[in-house]
Structures are given as structure tokens and as C-alpha cells.
Structure 1
Amino acid sequence: MTDLFAPDSHDWDPRADSVQRDQMAAYDEMRRRCPVAYSDYLQWSLFRHEDVMRVLTDHETFSNAASRHLSVPNAMDPPEHTRFRRLIEPYFSPEAMASFEPHCREIAESVVARLPQTGEIEAMAELGQNFALEIQCAFMGWPSSLHEPLRDWIRQQHDATLAGDRERLEKLALEFDGVIRELLETRRTAGAAAPDDVTTRLLRETVEGRPLRDEEIVSIIRNWTVGELGTIAASVGILVRYLAEHPNLQARLRGEPELLPAAIDEILRLDAPLMSNRRVTTKPVMIGGRRLEAGEKLTLLWGAANRDEAVFGDPDECRLDRDAETNLLYGAGIHVCPGAPLARMELRLIMEALLADTIHLALIADKPAIRARFPAGGYSAVPVRWRAERQGSSPDLVRPMGKKDPAG
């Protein structure tokens, strides 16, 4: 994979075709050959689990304040981060998840039930994106009329990101912020008649004894929504593709659904739905044998760190008995994803619904899944053949294709 490396003094080219065709394979190669690498596009990229963990646990040397825009609390450091984090965490508490679970289950089952009884589906659009849109609007208390505008916004943002069109991205960000501000204003106008949902409750929050400013609420909602819509859809695509490729594991999870939480986390360790996060150095530091000066930007590549042989052995081995503490799917340290309980519940419920409603998921030999391009993870398209376990279904199955089936 010599074309990973840029033709000048830089260590690699993250936008090279060889990287974009299969980010996981390219990052595996970089982790072994140049674990702390520089490029114009991502600046310093970290590929090893050990180096990423060091950054995550040393927030004094590696700051989260790496964004040009207000990002609450993602781009904040203590003590500011601590104050906002304390405000946000109750929205994802065990009590909040238990309250939302019945509605979440209903949506998951509805999305699956709308799929055709048999034939081919494109799992990213028909399952992952539909579920992500419906579940996020339900969690925030937004009307279903926002589903399609949000879908169109995601598509436009994706296209502008791939094109590197900063002007278009800025315009799209303002459009999205405008939608949120309209939702806030509607609830203010309604007063006591406003729905008691997550969006309304954020309007009542205070930090350090003062109400949240609108720009802070917009930032919180933007981070929750953009992150949720992208990563949940990507996660569903990865999970469906993996199970379609591994029929023994698919069958085992149908018979033992209690294994789904461990299986989901492990499959998403193998193939990251969220590729990266950023940090910036606050002082000179040596990491991975490279000297970084103060103010250097870093890209933490989750998809690489979570496949590190030094921690996981064979990175492609699917094991349901791994130590959950080593899996960086939701990060680690003080910035671990606060929404992880919600994401885990949503993914468990959509996969429970899918496996309960099907007797067959298989890849299609002449229609391979198409890899997403950075900064997205997972796939842009996942064609699969499926058969539902509904009244009148035929027991005749098409033999699924696939490689060695782990955990079967």
C-alpha cells in the first residue's frame, strides 16, 4: 500500500483512493508503519490504542477546544466542560432510558415492519437512515414533518463535506441552526402549553445560576442530532452487513438475543461508525516517538485504535467476551459519549426487531456494499437479500455468501 504515503515530506495522504476504498484496511497499515502520522488534511493522526488512550486521559496536555465554533460540551475543557456535562447527563440516565424505551421499541418495530416481506433492500437508506431520523425526532419531541427535511439536509451536508465546500457547509450549518431556533421559539410562544419533551426541558436549564443562552442550546441540540443521525444510521448499516456475511452469528443472536449488546459493541469495534475526533496540544509533547509543539491539531482515529493488535489480538476476530473497558466505541475518560446509553438502547432494539422479523439476511454477490468516505464511517450503501418471518413466508432460503463465521 505504498500510495498511502504522500509524494512530499508528509507521512500519508488520508484522501488517497487506496485509503478511501477501505479506511479500516488503510488504518491497519498505518498503525503498523507510522502510528503517529502527519498530513495537511488531518494534521497529526493517531492510530494506536495506547496513544489514543493517553490523549483521552490527559486533558491538560490535549485540549478538546479544537473547534472554531461553539460546541457544547464537545469542544470544552474542565471546569467549563464539567458544568455542562453535569447538566446533560440526566437526559441519558437509566430512568430517562427506561421511560423512552417503549416508544423506541415501537419505532424500531414499525421501521422493520415497513420493509418488504422478501427480496432485496438497501439497508442504509431503508433501515438505518429511516430509523435514525424517526428515533431522533421522537427523542427530541419533534414532529414527523421534519423527517424528510432532515434527510435532505444530511445528504447536502455529506455532499458538501466530500467536496470540501466550506461556504456551503457554513450555509447548511446556519440553516440547521435556524430550524432549531424555530423549534425553541415555538415552545416559548406556547408557554405552559409547550410539550414536556427534551427540547422544552433544555429551555428551562440553568448553568452557574443563569439560563442557558440560545446559542448554547442550539449547540447542544446540533451535537446530539448531527451525531445521532450519522452514527446510528452508519451503525445499523455495519451491523446488518456483518450479520448478513456471518449467518452462524446471525442465527445465534436470534436464539440468544441477550447476547446482542456485547455483539453490537464488538461488531462496531471491528468497523467504526464514527471515524475520528479532534484534539489540540496545549504544550510541547512527545507521543509515539514524534515531537509535537503547542497548538498542534490531532485527529484520533477510533477505527484504527479499536483494531490495535496490541490490545485485541487479531483485529478481525469477533469475540463476545472481550473486556468492555478496552473498546473505544464511545470514547473514554471525561469526554466519553454521554449519549452512549441511548445509542446502545436504540441499536439493541432495532437489531432485536430485525432479527425477530427475519429468517434470512444475506449479502448479494454481485452487489457489494459500498464503503463510506472520510469523515463518514461504515458504508454508503449496504444491499442485502432478506426474507421476513411473517405469515405466508416461504421457508425456501437463498444460501448466503460469506467468509469464516466467528462467534458462531
Structure 2
Amino acid sequence: MSNNRQPDWDPRSPAVFDDQIAAYDRMRGRCPVARSDYLHWSVFRHADVLRVLEDHGTFSNVVSRHPSVPNGMDPPEHTAYRALIEPYFAPERVRAFQPVCRGVAADLVGQLPAGGGVELMGGFARDFALRIQCAFMGWPAELHEPLRQWTHRNQEATLSGDRAATAAVALEFDGFVRGLLDARRKAGNAAPDDVTTRLLRERIGDRPLRDEEIVSIVRNWTVGELGTIAASVGILAHYLAAHPDLQRRIREDPSLLPAAIDEILRIHAPLIANRRMTTRAVEIGGRRLEAGARISLIWASANRDEAVFGDPDEFRLDRDSAHNLLYGAGIHVCPGAELARLELRVVMEELLARTRAFALMPDKPPVRATYPAGGFTSLALWVERCS
């Protein structure tokens, strides 16, 4: 393990693409800090990932040439922007959003077939993520279809690894947001009192937020939300379909849902990795990394570390949630964690309350997503909806 020049693994090999989670489990035991041409340095163990998260002086979040507010910032810059955005996810705002969230979820469950097969990712999970994010941001329904098409193009560009295509898709999204900002400026006092309008009124220090800062904030909220929430819905539905006894238990006692959701998403991560960069030479996991080394924190591995969780596939409702890195840790812990928990709880409550049962379809096996996505690209379920 001392040779830092030769790759330790290939994250894009067929064996990894066949089952990402199993591949990361193997790497955690074989080479817990591993180098590859594609991901540079990958960190697989819980303790090492937590060390990186808590030492933002050594492991910087400034990993891109493009501004990322506030995800791609370090203190003290990060501190001011983080304080600006946290009120948008305050408990009272999250609670106030619950009726809207429930309405979207109930409407989508009501559109499922009364009995029969459904492709849950395209026909339910992605629509839920899209509609719920637009509702939270205050965006009009006319944006649903353009944003749905954009999400598809973004996924294709990301999977292709084509930097020019990725940049073009990012620029297109920026145009969406700038158009919304322009419309609200033109409306003046008649602009809707929503998240997008409120961001226009924010100040950082002694000046208003610049448009490129607002665009970056909205991009971070939206792009991550659309992919991660959709993936989470698919993972949760798949797990409950594959474990009918647990599905039955939660139907009988919905109060188990919050803990069950966190535990299922610990077992099968919706978000695979996050990036950091070293600010100085450092040793971690028996490997020496020089200053400027690029790191991938593999959430999908750290949350399954046997040293913390024992059998990573054992479902337990009594786990200490403090160990679960589903929403990260440290100063960059996800500010929207409680909003995400609300959205996932509500959508699963509605799915369970408005159906009698749902199950996997053996003749249509699910298709797993590949890095950087988690979950499934396709998930066929047999659903029996309540009349």
C-alpha cells in the first residue's frame, strides 16, 4: 500500500458497475484509502471519512474552479454564507411546507394504477422530486417539463464524462435561474413571496448577493435535491417491496418510518460520494497524500463500515443516529436534512396509506444506477392501490 503511483482499483470496471455497494465493501476491507485514475484518492472507512469531515483546515471543500456557494467554501467565507442560508431550512419553515409536500405525494400516489405494474423511478420518484423542489422554491408548473428534460440531459452528460457537455448543461440551468430572477425584478412589489424572491433581497456583509452567487446557491439546492430525493424514494420503495414483513410492520405502525428511512438509506446510499482536497501533506489510512491531493469520500462505504455498524446489511431501528453519515457531518452537514427527512417521510406515508401492498416484479429486475448516482435507474413494482 505504500506505492502511491500505481492505481489500486478501477471505479469504472464492470465489477464495480455491476454492484457499486458490494464493490465499495470489498475496497473498505482490502484498501481503505485507494488511488485510481478516475477518483484520485477514495476514502472508504467511517473513521477516516469522519476525520476528513471534521478537519476542514487540512481537507478543503474548495475543489472546483467554479464558485459553489456555500458547499465549495472553507471558513471564514463559508461561515457567513452558511448563516445566510440556514434560515431557509428552519424548523418552522419545514413544518409549514408539510401540507404542500403531502398534497404532491397524495396526487402522485393517486395516479398509480389501481392494480398492476408501474415503473416507479420515471413515473413516480423523479416526478415527486421535481414537483416538490419547484414547490419549495416557488417555481411555476410551466417549469416542470423543461426542468425534467434538463435533469435527463444533466444525467447523461455526467455519466458520459464529457466536460464540454457537462459545462453546457450547467450553463443552461444557470439560464433558468437567471430568467426567474429577471422576472421577479421586473415584477417588483408584485413578485411572489417565495424562496427565489427572498434570495434577491439577501445581503452578505454590506452588499446584496450577486446573481452568480444566487445561481450557485439555487444550483446546489436543486441539482442535489432532484437526484438524491428521487434516488431515495426508489431505494425505500425497493427495500420495502423486497422485505414484505417490514412493509407490513410499518403499515401497522407508521411511527417507525423516520428511523426506518434513515436505516434503509444507510444500508443503500442515495448519494455515493463527495469531494475534498488536501491543503498540506497528510497521512490517512496508512497512505501519504501530498498537498493538493483530490479525495473522494465514499459515503456508500463509510455508512456500512463493520467497525461501526457490525453486519452492514442488518436492518436495525435502534441504531445510534449520530453515527449515520447520510447527511454528512461537521460544518458542511446538509442544511436541508430536516426538509429531506420531511419529504421522504411524507411520500412514504402516502405511498403506504394509499396502497394495500407493493412488491418487486421478478420478470422485470431493477436496474442499478452507477457512479455518481445511487439507487436505481429503473424500478418495476407491482402495486395494489386502495380504491
TM range (shorter): over 0.9
Q: Structure 2 residue aligned with 1:62, among 34, 59, 63? A: 59
Instruction: Give CA deviations for 1:253-302 in whole Å, capped at 9, x if unaligned.
Output: 11111111100010000000011100000001000000000000000000
Q: Distance in 2 between matches of 1:316 and 1:83?
A: 40
Q: What is the CA-CA distance between 1:182 and the residue it aligns to?
A: 0.3
SS of corresponding position for 2:383: strand
Letter in 1 for 2:258: P
* Residue aligning to 1:133: 130
2:69 corresponds in structure 1 to 72
What is the aligned partner in structure 1 of residue 29 from structure 2? 32
Matched residue, 1:404: none
Partner of residue 246, structure 1: 243
3-state SS of 1:272 partner: coil
Q: Which runs of 4+ in 1 moved over 6 A?
A: none
Partner of 1:334: 331
Please report how far the alpha carbon of residue 389 of structure 1 lies from its aligned counterpart in structure 2 after TM superposition: 1.7
SS in 2 for 1:291: strand
Q: Which amino acid aligns with 1:307?
A: R
- Deviation of residue 111 (structure 1)? 1.0
Q: Does 1:324 align with 2:321?
A: yes
Structure 2 residue aligned with 1:146? 143
Deviations 1:128-153 (A, max 9, x none): 10100100000000011111111111
Q: 1:328-407 maps to which residues of 2 (within 5 A)?
A: 328-390=325-387
* RMSD, aligned α-carbons: 0.8
Q: CA deviation at 1:22?
A: 0.6
User: In 1, Cα distance between the equivalents of 2:8 and 2:32?
Assistant: 10
Deviations 1:30-82 (A, max 9, x none): 00000000001000000000000000000000000011210000000011111
Would you say 1:87 and 2:84 are equivalent positions?
Answer: yes
- Partner residue in 2 for 1:121: 118
Counterpart Cα distance in 1 of 2:190 and 2:26: 57
Quick check: 1:41 aligned with 2:38?
Answer: yes
Aligned to 1:173: 170
* Aligned mates of 1:111, 1:343 — CA distance in 2: 18
The equivalent of 1:284 in structure 2 is 281
Measured in 2, the distance between the counterparts of 1:187 and 1:128 equals: 30
1:155-234 → structure 2 map (5 Å cutoff): 155-234=152-231
Matched residue SS, 1:274: coil
Q: Secondary structure at the match of 2:277?
A: strand
Unaligned runs of 5+ in 2: none
Q: What letter is aligned with 1:151?
A: R
Letter in 1 for 2:203: T
Distance 2:254 2:357 in 1: 16
Q: Is the 8 A contact 2:6 2:35 kept in 1?
A: no
2:98 maps to what in 1? 101
For 1:94 and 1:9, how far apart are their aligned partners in 2? 48
| Whole-Å separation in 2 of the counterparts to 1:321 and 1:109 | 29
Aligned letter for 1:67?
S
Q: Distance in 1 between matches of 2:365 and 2:15?
A: 17
Give the C-alpha shift of residue 164 in structure 1.
1.4
TM-score by length of 1: 0.93
* DSSP 3-state at the match of 1:360: strand
For residue 9 of structure 1, report the CA deviation from its aligned partner. 2.2
* Cα distance between partner residues in 1 of 2:330 and 2:136: 26
Q: Which moved more, 1:207-216 or 1:156-165?
A: 156-165
Letter in 1 for 2:282: V
Give CA deviations for 1:145-199 in whole Å, capped at 9, x if unaligned: 1111111111111111111111111111111000100000000000000000000
TM-score normalised over the length of structure 2: 0.98
Q: How far, CA to CA, are the matches of 2:158 and 2:92 in structure 1?
A: 37
CA distance in 2, matches of 1:61, 1:9: 24
Alignment match of 2:252 (pick from 255, 265, 268): 255
* In 2, Cα distance between equivalents of 1:216 and 1:160: 24
Percent of aligned pairs with the same residue?
A: 65
* Residue identity matched to 2:205: E
Distance 1:265 1:126 in 2: 24
Once residues 374 and 35 of structure 2 are traced to their aligned partners in structure 1, the CA distance between those partners, rounded to angstroms, is 21
Per-residue CA deviations over 1:291-331 (Å, capped at 9, x if unaligned) read 00000000000000000000000000111110000000000
Q: How many residues align?
A: 383
Cα distance in 2 for partners of 1:296, 1:339 equals 29
Partner Cα distance (1:160, 1:218) in 2: 20
Matched AA of 2:48: D
